[in-house]
Amino acid sequence: MDSRDRRRFPRMRTAWPVLVEAADGRVGVGQVIDVSLSGMRISTNLTIQVDTAVTLRVTLPKHTGRLEILAKVARQEGGALGLVFFTLNQGEAERVAPYVAPGDIRHWAKRVSVSLPVRIETGTEDQDVVHARTVDLSTSGGRITTDGAVLAAGDVVVVELPGPEIGGTLRLPAVVWEAYTSGAVVVFANLARAEHLKLRNYLSHFE
């Protein structure tokens, strides 16, 4: 097994524009090939030595803004560079999280144990609703119990969280990651930055 198979966070393939600035001031353009919460691989027209520090300016998809990240070159692979982030603070990680492997986000994100009634909308009709309760929540998703209603892994749903006393109801797109007889694990999918910030503020009331 090579080192790429032993990464803490497996990488998800992407296609994002990136500017790379080397420590000596050279700037190159490129594209993010894949990304995780610990690093990324990019194609670029720059040749940069291993262990060199770089600054990455990444344009996120769906008009969700840009990130500036400090990283180190870990590998050279032809026209690609394997990079390891020096630091990725919580806010930066939450902006990257919707685009990386959901299972690893779920293990990374801080969970809050809280029991709340939630609605899981599985379709467009009023009857396509599962009533559930949370077991825990994080900015990546949560565990729920469903009182016998069965969800299916891979279902695309909307999770509606109550809370008018702390800013109103939240409606968040999600994917059912795991499903079992009495509950499921859901992962929030493709949240905009504003939704992430609102969810983080929501969860802070239960910490």
Q: In this structure, what CATH number is given to the domain that contains residue 188?
A: 2.40.10.220
Nearest-5° angle of CA 87, CA 73, CA 28?
Answer: 100
Q: Which of 45, 65, 97 is the last residue of a domain?
A: 97
**DSSP letter at 100?**
S
Instruction: Provide the number of structural domains found in the chain.
Output: 2
> Do 47 and 135 have their domain in common?
no
Residue 35: domain span: 3-97
Tell whether pTM > 0.75: no
> In percent, how much of the chain has pLDDT > 70?
79
> Do 91 and 150 have their domain in common?
no
| 109-165 pLDDT tens trace | 678 889 999 999 987 666 688 899 999 998 878 889 987 777 888 788 899 998 756
Q: At residue 87, does pLDDT exceed 80? A: no
Reading the block at residue 133, the tokens are 């309760």
Q: Which of 61-65, 125-129, 171-175, 200-204 has the lowest mean pLDDT?
A: 61-65
Amino acid at 87: T
pLDDT bucket at 3, cuts 50 / 70 / 90: very low
